[in-house]
Copies of this chain bind each other. A is one copy, B any other.
């Protein structure tokens, strides 16, 4: 286990000369000191787009598409790829074999019911490991498979022993763990740990868990088993990524993700969102181990394949993830991006965008644009005059950056030629007049 690295502020800014000059406490006062069992700086990703993701309403992956996605995920550097059970259909069986045959760096897992028939099929596919699952909540025991704990335990032992005898890695997970009886859970986890399971899994199958519950359950489990602990969270109530993070704090070792979070209902932690969270806690670990710039590519492949639009608010790659708008934000971000950014866009192959042509703009942001355009004769007073004009125009309709630039250049031009720049602002009372400048832009206004 890597030594704990505390304080994200320090991590994030360690290479940033500007920030090193700050009178900034080295340790953020609220960065809770990392628990001894924390794996926040030492976790593995089980990427389940090709299993959980296939359970997304829109998902239909051909073999070729699965291979394309598997390769793109391997490029990100995820530790494992989890595939749909070979027992689901004939093509699912063949797809497992095809992906095993790619020789990727990621280990290949398949996900099966706790049943010997499924286990035998899984072994035949040549995967590196098998994720076994069975429901233990009263709900599932009553309304799904109808089995009691004695039967579940007996079958689990048989299946795990068989898979291990074939030289494969094996995980045993319950389903709906947060609505299962605690003693039942700990009892079966302890049993399978003793017979040598590689990992046990906790699953919030219905998306009901909250972070402090997760912390308590994982911490308790950590004291009962020696093997690794995998966690699987659904996002029905908006806690999936936070629960995953908190589980790692409590000693979990593996987290399930999918591209854009696709899965049953509204899905599980998005690979990109989870890595954003972990980057804030241990930027070095994340950037050394994963190619976060490759996230966008696999998101595009998956989004196109399942016919969805990447959400406007998607982590990292959503089109507004690095857009700053309020005047007070824009001013500070131009002075030092760390003021309003905890993720450096360049680390993710993204760009920062500061929006200035709207009624919430501020003169510092406008001044910054003046400097970018090298209109060096314009003063702070000029920037303030122009900002007031932008706000006035933007009360009717927001200006795009090109329109702001036209205004800045026209003003600059007038100031340099006949000192009529204030007249420019007075005469400019509608968007149409600005647009007419715009159409003349190539003639007289370019700086």
Contacts and interface: CB of A to CB of B under 8 A. Distances in A.
Given A57-B320, A239-B245, 8 more contacts: A24-B138, A25-B138, A29-B182, A144-B332, A236-B276, A238-B315, A265-B323, A266-B313
A346 interface: no
Of listed A28, A207, A241, A339, residue having the most chain B CB within 10 A: A339
Interface in A165-193: 176, 178-182
Contacts of A64: none
A150 to B, nearest CB: 15
Contact of A342 (B206, B243, B277, B314): B206
B341 A206 contact: yes
Interface stretch (A124-132, A267-275, A406-414): A267-275
Interface stretch (A84-92, A424-432, A436-444): A84-92
Interface residues of A, number: 117
A100 interface: no
Contact of A395 (B8, B23, B90): B90
Contacts of A321: 236, 265-266
Interface in A377-433: 391-392, 394-395, 397-398
Contact of A55 (B24, B113, B336, B360): B360
Given A265-B320, A322-B265, A339-B140, A237 B332 contact: no
Interface in A40-70: 54-58, 60
A88 B360 contact: yes
Contacts of A208: 8, 280, 342
Contacts of A151: none
A294 interface: no
13 contacts: A22-B139, A24-B179, A30-B178, A30-B209, A32-B216, A89-B360, A205-B340, A210-B277, A212-B212, A237-B273, A238-B240, A266-B314, A311-B313
Nearest to A91: B395
Interface in A281-336: 281, 308-309, 311-315, 318-329, 331-332, 335-336
A213 interface: yes
A143 to B, nearest CB: 4
A9 B53 CA distance: 27
B58 A320 contact: yes
A155 interface: no
A363 interface: no
